[in-house]
């Protein structure tokens, strides 16, 4: 019988999705839960599996088509003689086997010809020694790259992992066996602060120009950043915070915390908890602007920016005020992990009331991120470093951190922004150093 595969519902607020790429074509045989296409919403990109096994007999929607949820996008011939189409249950978001890495990747324009697949036994060996995303593995199969070749590719992602751009560059270098080595292009920025979208120049042979088309998420990031620049009156302040007490708690508790919870204890849960306490005292920082109205939220949905292979994603911890420190740590770890593995639901990256951008993990001390609309403020967290400061009229070496606040001057005045930062400083510096986790 023929089975109708429909555009799946990706969240309560999502009504349509854009087909980025079909990974299977007409005539291909598919197994149940095998990834068959990549789709993108205005929130997040996802890989979608087929709910049934069979042969693809018709692709109704093409790549780059935007399709309403519930509309048929493909038909699959399954076992049986009946020709009547059956309704399809909502297809869940595909789960990737492996972790993806940082750096946003361009959309592939080359996955066309089918070649000899990677040997299965070698693929299992790859998975036991390295992480490769399904997108990378699919390109390897399509281009006939052996498991040994795949392991030899030098990765530019976190911990040296191979990204989509790495394998595409490798494929291109194999195809163009010419005297001059292929030019490498700097990967597009993946931080929330990127506010412009440069127009690629025409490709002119010999000029050393590589044109990389923006993928769907990069386009959305660019649109969102330009929107926030044109919408909000951005002002930035920063303050220096002594993290001595928090540092003592973490150093004493991190091993036991990992044994109990199975996750690393970082500084971010402490910062997030202190932010929640401070937002309760300064509710206008947790508001938004709707025309001439101020919408003050009496709940705190905290967005934590995560750098992924697809670009910057800001998953949201809903009702963060209801969680304790350990609960916040669990939520941050869970959302960040699923963001990097493309397992987030669209509802999990929407509805935020305040955001945090932790650029300090890359060694940056001070930065002023752009506001995540329709919010009115965002916190920037710098890196921790030991500095000599004056404590009780004596010089001491303390772990110090610079934290910034970018706010919308249409609603928040400088005095209020400064008071918020000062109170946040007090919360962080006054953690009980004997706190047990």
- For 23-142, list the strands marked E by DSSP: 29-30, 35-40, 45-49, 54-59, 66-68, 72-77
Q: Does domain 221-429 have CATH number 3.30.559.10?
A: yes
Confirm if 77 and 83 have CB atoms less than 8 A apart: no
Sequence-distant (≥ 6) Cβ neighbours of residue 349 within 8 angstroms: 43, 44, 313, 314, 315, 316
Residue 196 has pLDDT above 70, yes or no: no
Q: Which residues are catalytic?
A: 409, 413
Report the share of the chain in percent with pLDDT over 90: 45
Res 88: pLDDT: 41
Report the share of the chain in percent with pLDDT over 70: 77
Which range among 84-93, 278-287, 360-369 shows the weakest confidence by mean pLDDT? 84-93
Summarize pLDDT for 231-258 with one digit per residue, the tens. 999 999 999 999 999 999 999 999 999 9
Which range among 174-188, 229-243, 254-268, 355-369 shows the weakest confidence by mean pLDDT? 174-188
pLDDT band for position 330 (cuts 50, 70, 90):
very high
Summarize pLDDT for 64-79 with one digit per residue, the tens. 888 888 899 999 998 7
Q: Identify the CATH number of the domain defined by range 1-94.
A: 2.40.50.100
Res 296: pLDDT: 96
Helix (H, G, I), strand (E, B) or coil at 89: coil
The residue ranges of every structural domain in the chain are 1-94, 96-187, 221-429
Average pLDDT of the chain is 80
Sequence-distant (≥ 6) Cβ neighbours of residue 199 within 8 angstroms: none
Confirm if 146 and 122 have CB atoms less than 8 A apart: yes
Res 168: pLDDT: 83
Residue 195 has pLDDT above 70, yes or no: no
Candidates 83, 27, 74, 26; CA nearest to 48 is: 74
Summarize pLDDT for 413-428 with one digit per residue, the tens. 999 999 999 999 999 9
Residue found under tokens 């281009």: 143
Which range among 32-36, 189-193, 250-254, 372-376 shows the weakest confidence by mean pLDDT? 189-193
Residue 163 has pLDDT above 90, yes or no: no
């Amino acid at each position: 019988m023929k089975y109708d595969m429909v555009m799946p519902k990706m969240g309560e607020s999502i009504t349509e999705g854009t087909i980025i790429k079909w990974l299977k074509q007409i005539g291909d045989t598919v197994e149940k839960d095998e990834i068959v296409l990549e789709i993108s919403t205005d929130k997040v990109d996802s890989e979608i599996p087929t709910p049934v096994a069979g042969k693809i007999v018709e692709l109704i929607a093409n790549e780059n088509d935007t399709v309403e949820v519930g509309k048929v996008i493909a038909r699959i011939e399954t076992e049986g003689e009946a020709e009547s189409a059956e309704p399809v249950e909502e297809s869940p978001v595909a789960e990737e086997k492996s972790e993806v890495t940082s750096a946003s990747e361009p959309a592939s324009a080359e996955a066309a010809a089918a070649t000899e697949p990677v040997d299965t036994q070698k693929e299992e060996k790859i998975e036991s020694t390295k992480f490769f995303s399904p997108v990378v593995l699919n390109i390897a199969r399509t281009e006939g790259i052996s498991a040994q070749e795949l392991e030899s590719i030098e990765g530019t992602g976190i911990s040296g992992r191979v990204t989509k751009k790495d394998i595409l560059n490798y494929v291109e270098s194999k195809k163009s066996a010419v005297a001059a080595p292929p030019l490498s292009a700097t990967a597009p920025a993946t931080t929330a602060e990127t506010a412009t979208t440069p127009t690629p120049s025409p490709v002119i042979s010999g000029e050393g120009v590589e044109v990389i088309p923006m993928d769907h998420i990069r386009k959305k990031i660019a649109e969102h950043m330009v929107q926030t620049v044109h919408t909000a009156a951005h002002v930035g302040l920063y303050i220096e915070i002594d993290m001595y007490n928090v540092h003592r708690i973490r150093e004493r508790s991190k091993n036991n915390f990992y044994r109990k919870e199975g996750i690393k204890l970082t500084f971010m849960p402490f910062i997030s908890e202190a932010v929640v306490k401070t937002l309760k005292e300064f509710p206008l920082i947790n508001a938004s602007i709707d025309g001439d109205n101020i919408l003050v939220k009496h709940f705190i949905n905290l967005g934590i920016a995560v750098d992924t292979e697809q670009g910057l994603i800001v998953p949201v911890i809903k009702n963060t005020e209801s969680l304790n420190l350990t609960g916040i740590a669990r939520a941050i770890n869970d959302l960040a992990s699923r963001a990097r593995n493309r397992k987030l639901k669209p509802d999990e990256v929407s509805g935020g009331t305040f955001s945090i951008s932790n650029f300090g993990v890359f060694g940056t001390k001070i930065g002023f991120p752009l506001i995540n609309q329709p919010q009115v403020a965002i916190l920037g967290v710098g890196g921790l470093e030991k500095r000599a400061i004056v404590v009780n009229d004596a010089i001491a070496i303390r772990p110090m951190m610079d934290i910034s606040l970018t706010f919308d001057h249409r609603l928040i005045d400088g005095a209020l922004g400064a008071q918020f930062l000062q109170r946040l400083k007090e919360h962080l510096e006054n953690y009980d150093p004997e706190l047990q986790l």
